């Protein structure tokens, strides 16, 4: 794998939660592992005035609390490479100072490579992009050279949510394209940096035993769940404008779905992988207005214990119909998955924190053991399944039937499991770390292209557009905390003769 290029990492919105909880811990972990190029510099830009040393002290404590093995000596070698600049990056007049500071740091960062990271509220993306474009940092011909005629690069990482719907995503794509080449735009989804999500690629395409079974012929259905036991907590202002569909399904869950459902790329290369992810998302058939109540469900958690329901949470708009739970059935218009439904589900204040993919295989075409007794025949149903757990563990489990010991012939469930991280391999590194290194080396395999983003918005349009009003009637307090969401979610699968893998019954059926 190519070595990452050193650069100046410019974090715009440096005083925010994302920087202290994710970005700096990720950079520290890569520095501690020896994978962060030594000449790399970090410049934080935010409106609050503070000296460099004060910001470094804040970051030290934040990083200490968010990494597994913090070492003061290692931090001491990283801290001098971190700087802070007070400035409002959304104001064009500030960019003269910001650009000057970047250029001061750039000579020590290998030919002036610059990686911008938008760690700000989405409404600030466009003015910041315009500010960058108004400077000499990204020339009109997009060519930056060093004294020895080497090319330098200017790249930008854009956080989710990338727009609020398909039209706004297209507008943001156009704004980015007016300043950066597509090859220099990195639309990030940190889920793609998780070991277990990337492990899906290896599981599918490095093993001959799975791919022949990976189609509508042998797979009955697929479930993708991202459940959280916490509520909205301190994200009320963001969440009430966003909701579960925009926050989780359009981004994280559809990205996981793409890895599960995509066709094999002809070669392991960024453009081929992204093309196949884009193709599978474009083949989604969103439910129409008439089918929507049967194919989707939205919910808001109610009060429980000493905690208020979502609607009573301070900061939530009166009468808000923002969903804290969403589920939908997806069907594809393609040869591989025609007739095989994919079920997506996400929510807050559910029974457990869990992110998983369940591939439910079809039973044998005939039950060879049907004359051996009711119990054996009954246990044939829905036995074979592959469970890929993304969080809190990172492992894969294959369940199947085998003969139970004893004097009579009967069946029992058996399970084989493997740890994606390796037994005793320690905590998984912060997902942003590998993604930042990929951006430094110019590898877009785990980043989304513009068509992929727009296709994902089109897939969820029925759940966020005018047609969703039918799902939002009576949404308030329609599921209790500690369960698995509203009854309408169970009904989506029940109509098809199936059950969720976690819920009132823990054994999915077909």
The CA distance from 113 to 104, in Å, is 12
Task: Answer whether residue 182 is part of any domain.
Answer: no
Here the CATH number for the domain that contains residue 71 is: 3.40.50.720
Task: Answer whether residue 72 is part of any domain.
Answer: yes
In this prediction, residue 510 has a pLDDT band, given cuts at 50, 70 and 90, of: very low
Give whole-number Cα distances, 194 to 275, 391, 395, in Å: 21, 9, 12
89: tokens are 């990056």
Give the closest residue to 329 by CA, choosing from 227, 222, 226, 250.
Answer: 222
Phi, psi of 26 (to 5 degrees): -65, -45
The CA distance from 35 to 127, in Å, is 33
* DSSP reduced 3-state for 440: helix
Is there a single domain that holds both residue 278 and residue 230?
Answer: yes
Is there a single domain that holds both residue 225 and residue 101?
Answer: no
Is there a single domain that holds both residue 154 and residue 199?
Answer: no
* DSSP reduced 3-state for 302: coil
Is there a single domain that holds both residue 155 and residue 196?
Answer: no
Task: Answer whether residue 27 is part of any domain.
Answer: yes
Residue 96 belongs to domain spanning: 8-159
Give mean pLDDT, residues 110-124.
87
- Whether 172 and 126 have beta carbons less than 8 Å apart is answered as yes
Give mean pLDDT, residues 371-383.
57
219 pLDDT above the threshold of 60? yes
The domain total for the chain is 2
In this prediction, residue 330 has a pLDDT band, given cuts at 50, 70 and 90, of: very high
Is there a single domain that holds both residue 217 and residue 366?
Answer: yes
Is there a single domain that holds both residue 155 and residue 263?
Answer: no
From 31, 190, 221, 252, active-site residue: 252
Residue in the structure block whose two tokens are 């060519």: 143
Task: Answer whether residue 339 is part of any domain.
Answer: yes
Is there a single domain that holds both residue 371 and residue 226?
Answer: yes
Mark which of 159, 183, 212 sits at the end of a domain. Answer: 159
Is there a single domain that holds both residue 240 and residue 145?
Answer: no
Mark which of 115, 142, 159 sits at the end of a domain. Answer: 159
Which of 138-147, 289-298, 364-373, 381-390 has the least mean pLDDT? 138-147
Choose between 14 and 149: higher pLDDT. Answer: 14
Report pTM.
0.89
Mark which of 101, 135, 159 sits at the end of a domain. Answer: 159
Give the closest residue to 114 by CA, choosing from 87, 77, 142.
Answer: 142
Is there a single domain that holds both residue 139 and residue 209?
Answer: no
Phi, psi of 111 (to 5 degrees): 70, 15
At 419-441, the pLDDT tens digits run 876 544 556 778 899 999 999 99
Task: Answer whether residue 174 is part of any domain.
Answer: no
Name the pairing type of β-strands 8-12 and 41-46. parallel
Task: Answer whether residue 487 is part of any domain.
Answer: yes
In this prediction, residue 95 has a pLDDT band, given cuts at 50, 70 and 90, of: very high
In this prediction, residue 504 has a pLDDT band, given cuts at 50, 70 and 90, of: very low
438: tokens are 């990929």
Give the closest residue to 494 by CA, choosing from 297, 320, 333, 308.
Answer: 297
At 472-502, the pLDDT tens digits run 998 988 999 999 999 999 999 999 999 998 7
Give mean pLDDT, residues 107-128.
84
In this prediction, residue 245 has a pLDDT band, given cuts at 50, 70 and 90, of: very high
Task: Answer whether residue 186 is part of any domain.
Answer: no
Residue 144: per-residue pLDDT: 58
At 453-467, the pLDDT tens digits run 999 999 999 999 999
Give mean pLDDT, residues 176-196.
89
Is there a single domain that holds both residue 209 and residue 335?
Answer: yes
* DSSP reduced 3-state for 187: strand
In this prediction, residue 202 has a pLDDT band, given cuts at 50, 70 and 90, of: confident
Which of 80-84, 93-97, 401-405 has the least mean pLDDT? 401-405
C-alpha torsion sign, points 329, 330, 331, 336:
negative
For the stretch 53-58, contacts whose Cβ atoms lie closer than 8 Å and that sit 24 or more positions apart, written own/partner, are: 54/84, 55/14, 55/82, 55/84, 56/82, 56/84, 58/20
Which of 103-107, 144-148, 455-459 has the least mean pLDDT? 144-148
Residue 175: per-residue pLDDT: 95
CA atoms within 13 A on the CB side of 159: 19
Task: Answer whether residue 400 is part of any domain.
Answer: yes
Residue 475: per-residue pLDDT: 94
Give mean pLDDT, residues 136-140.
75
In this prediction, residue 509 has a pLDDT band, given cuts at 50, 70 and 90, of: very low
321 pLDDT above the threshold of 90? yes
Give mean pLDDT, residues 41-54.
91
Here the CATH number for the domain that contains residue 462 is: 3.30.360.10
Give mean pLDDT, residues 295-317.
94
- Whether 341 and 221 have beta carbons less than 8 Å apart is answered as yes
Which of 268-277, 302-311, 331-340, 501-510 has the least mean pLDDT? 501-510
Phi, psi of 99 (to 5 degrees): -60, -40
At 332-349, the pLDDT tens digits run 999 999 999 999 999 999
Choose between 264 and 508: higher pLDDT. Answer: 264
For 139, other C-beta atoms within 10 Å of its C-beta total 11
SS (H, E, C) 65-90: HHCCCCCHHHHHHHHHHEEEEECCCC
Is 190 assigned a catalytic role?
A: no
Give mean pLDDT, residues 281-304.
94
Q: What is the mean pLDDT of the chain?
A: 88
Q: In sequence order, what are the beta bridge partners of 10?
A: 43, 116
Give mean pLDDT, residues 83-87.
95
Is there a single domain that holds both residue 256 and residue 383?
Answer: yes
Is there a single domain that holds both residue 352 and residue 471?
Answer: yes
Choose between 462 and 195: higher pLDDT. Answer: 462
Which of 169-173, 208-212, 451-455 has the least mean pLDDT? 208-212
2 pLDDT above the threshold of 60? yes
141 pLDDT above the threshold of 70? no
């Amino acid at each position: 794998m190519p070595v990452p290029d050193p650069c100046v990492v410019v974090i715009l919105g440096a005083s925010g939660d994302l920087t202290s909880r994710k970005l700096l811990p990720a950079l520290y972990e890569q520095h501690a592992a020896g994978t962060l190029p030594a000449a790399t510099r970090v410049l934080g830009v935010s409106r609050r005035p503070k000296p460099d040393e004060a910001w470094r002290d804040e970051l030290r404590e934040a990083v200490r609390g968010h990494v597994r093995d913090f070492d003061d000596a290692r931090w001491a070698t990283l801290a001098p490479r971190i700087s802070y600049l007070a400035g409002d990056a959304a104001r064009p007049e500030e960019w003269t100072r910001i650009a000057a500071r970047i250029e001061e740091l750039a000579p020590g960062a290998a030919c002036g490579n610059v990686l911008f990271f938008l760690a700000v509220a989405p409404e600030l993306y466009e003015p910041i992009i315009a500010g960058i474009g108004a400077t000499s940092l990204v020339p009109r011909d997009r060519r930056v050279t060093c004294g020895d005629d080497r090319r330098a690069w200017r790249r930008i990482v854009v956080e989710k949510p990338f727009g609020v719907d398909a039209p706004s995503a297209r507008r943001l794509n156009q704004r980015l394209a007016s300043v950066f080449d597509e090859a220099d735009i990195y639309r990030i989804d940190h889920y793609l940096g998780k070991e277990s999500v990337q492990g899906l690629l290896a599981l599918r395409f490095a093993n001959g035993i799975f791919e022949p079974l990976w189609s509508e012929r042998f797979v009955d259905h697929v479930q993708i769940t991202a459940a959280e036991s916490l509520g909205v907590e301190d994200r009320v202002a963001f969440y009430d404008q966003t909701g579960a569909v925009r926050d989780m399904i359009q981004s994280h869950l559809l990205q996981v779905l793409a890895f599960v459902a995509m066709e094999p790329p002809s070669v392991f290369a960024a453009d081929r992988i992204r093309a196949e992810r884009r193709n599978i998302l474009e083949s989604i058939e969103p439910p129409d207005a008439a089918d929507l109540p049967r194919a989707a469900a939205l919910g808001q958690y109610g009060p429980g214990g000493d905690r208020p329901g979502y609607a009573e949470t301070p900061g939530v708009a009166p009468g808000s119909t923002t969903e804290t739970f969403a589920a939908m059935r997806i069907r594809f218009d393609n040869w591989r998955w025609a007739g095989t439904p994919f079920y997506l589900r996400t929510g807050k204040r559910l029974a457990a924190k869990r992110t998983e993919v369940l591939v439910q295989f079809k039973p044998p075409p005939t039950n060879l053991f049907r004359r051996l007794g009711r119990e054996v025949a009954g246990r044939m149903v829905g036995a074979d399944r592959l469970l890929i757990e993304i969080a809190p563990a990172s492992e894969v489990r294959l369940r199947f039937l085998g003969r139970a010991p004893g004097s009579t012939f009967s069946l029992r469930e058996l399970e084989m499991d493997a740890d994606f991280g390796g037994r005793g391999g320690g905590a998984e590194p912060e997902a942003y770390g590998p993604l930042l290194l990929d951006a430094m080396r110019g590898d877009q395999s785990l980043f989304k292209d513009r068509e992929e983003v727009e296709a994902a918005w089109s897939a969820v349009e029925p759940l966020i557009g005018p047609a969703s009003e039918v799902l939002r009637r009576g949404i308030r307090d329609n599921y209790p905390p500690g369960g698995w969401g509203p009854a309408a979610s169970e009904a989506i699968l029940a109509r098809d003769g199936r059950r969720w893998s976690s819920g009132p019954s823990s054994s999915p059926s077909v």
